[in-house]
């Protein structure tokens, strides 16, 4: 089973790139973030024509997450929204159970974790609270002893080696000690960070800003992650970054990250 995560930074602007990626890479499951559209505005017809079922949690102009599943696999037990705060209206979490004949089930979530900047605003406490809610929910999921993949744009730079210029991020919400501690607490629930488990080398980035020629200078950061439960980690074959997609015309500032499970 091939599972990809991709912050498309506006699905309407990037639907052509997405369909091309689906046709070429043929992922079985795709976790999308930052749709920037409501559910009825999602280009469902184009994705279904490519052979994928679609489940979305949209929001006008901001946020938005989706799960795409390639036939003959199916998606059930869909959960929209992260538990723990009934007043949270931001569309940042969708989860479902992927099943199919002859295929071991995998529970997959698409996550768009808050950016948290500026750190002296309510946005940073919201980020930390969201991360704590995610940790608690992940702990609850672990109790079922399933293969779980928590995938998405975490807006977390885990280590200095995950940024081309870590000093430039010292005071940013993505790299603050409290952010990184919260991320490690999530991992400590028993999750394996798939990409690092397969490729420990530096200069492995998933995001390049549109400003200051970041792409041409390879001034990137690694903030898109796939976390695997022990049952999923036991099935891990490979993980990779589809870096070349950042060089497309009018690209997202993120690229897909893909894992393959037996």
Query: 49-64 pLDDT, tens per residue?
Result: 999 999 999 999 999 9
CB atoms within 10 A of CB 42: 21
Rounded Cα distance, 189 and 134, in Å: 11
Q: Kindly list the distances between the CA atom of residue 257 and the CA atoms of 206, 227, 262, in Å, as whole numbers in the listed order.
A: 7, 12, 17
Q: Contact at 8 Å (CB) between 68 and 32?
A: yes
pLDDT at 91: 98
Which CATH number fits the domain that encloses residue 186? 3.60.10.10
Contacts 24+ apart (CB under 8 A), 120-125: 123/173, 124/173
Rounded Cα distance, 239 and 257, in Å: 7
Q: Using the 8-state DSSP alphabet, how is residue 207 labeled? A: B
- Total count of domains within the chain: 1
Q: Which two tokens stand for residue 242?
A: 């589809």
Query: 104-155 pLDDT, tens per residue?
Result: 999 999 999 999 999 999 999 999 999 999 999 999 999 999 999 999 999 9
Q: Contact at 8 Å (CB) between 25 and 50?
A: no
Of 219, 24, 27, 23, nearest to 6 by C-alpha is 27
Question: pTM of the prediction?
Answer: 0.98
Pairing of strands 148-153, 103-112: parallel
Strand segments, DSSP code E, in 62-186 are 65-70, 74-80, 93-100, 103-112, 148-153
Query: 212-240 pLDDT, tens per residue?
Result: 899 999 999 999 999 999 999 999 999 99
Rounded Cα distance, 139 and 142, in Å: 5
* Structural domain harbouring 49: 2-261
pLDDT at 117: 98
Share of the chain above pLDDT 70, in %: 100
């Amino acid at each position: 089973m091939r599972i990809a995560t991709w912050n498309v930074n506006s699905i309407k602007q990037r639907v052509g790139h997405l369909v091309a990626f689906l046709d070429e890479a043929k992922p079985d499951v795709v976790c999308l973030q930052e749709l920037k559209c409501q559910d009825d505005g999602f280009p469902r017809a184009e994705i279904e024509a490519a052979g994928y079922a679609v489940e979305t949690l949209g929001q006008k102009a901001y946020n938005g997450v989706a799960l795409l599943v390639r036939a003959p696999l199916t998606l059930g037990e869909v959960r929209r929204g992260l538990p723990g705060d009934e007043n949270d209206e931001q569309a940042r979490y969708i989860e479902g159970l992927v099943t199919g004949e002859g295929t071991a089930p995998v529970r997959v979530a698409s996550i768009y974790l808050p950016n948290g900047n500026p750190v002296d605003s309510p946005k940073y406490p919201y980020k930390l609270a969201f991360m704590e809610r995610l940790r608690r929910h992940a702990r609850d999921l672990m109790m079922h002893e399933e293969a779980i993949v928590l995938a998405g744009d975490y807006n977390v730079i885990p280590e200095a080696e995950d940024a081309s210029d870590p000093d430039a991020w010292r005071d940013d919400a993505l790299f603050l000690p409290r952010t990184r501690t919260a991320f490690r607490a999530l991992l400590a629930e028993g999750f394996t960070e798939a990409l690092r488990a397969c490729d420990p080398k530096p200069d492995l980035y998933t995001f390049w800003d549109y400003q200051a020629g970041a792409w041409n200078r390879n001034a990137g950061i690694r903030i898109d992650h796939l976390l695997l439960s022990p049952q999923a980690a036991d099935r891990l074959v490979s993980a990779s970054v589809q870096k070349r997609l950042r060089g497309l015309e009018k690209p997202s500032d993120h690229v897909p990250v893909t894992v393959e499970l037996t």
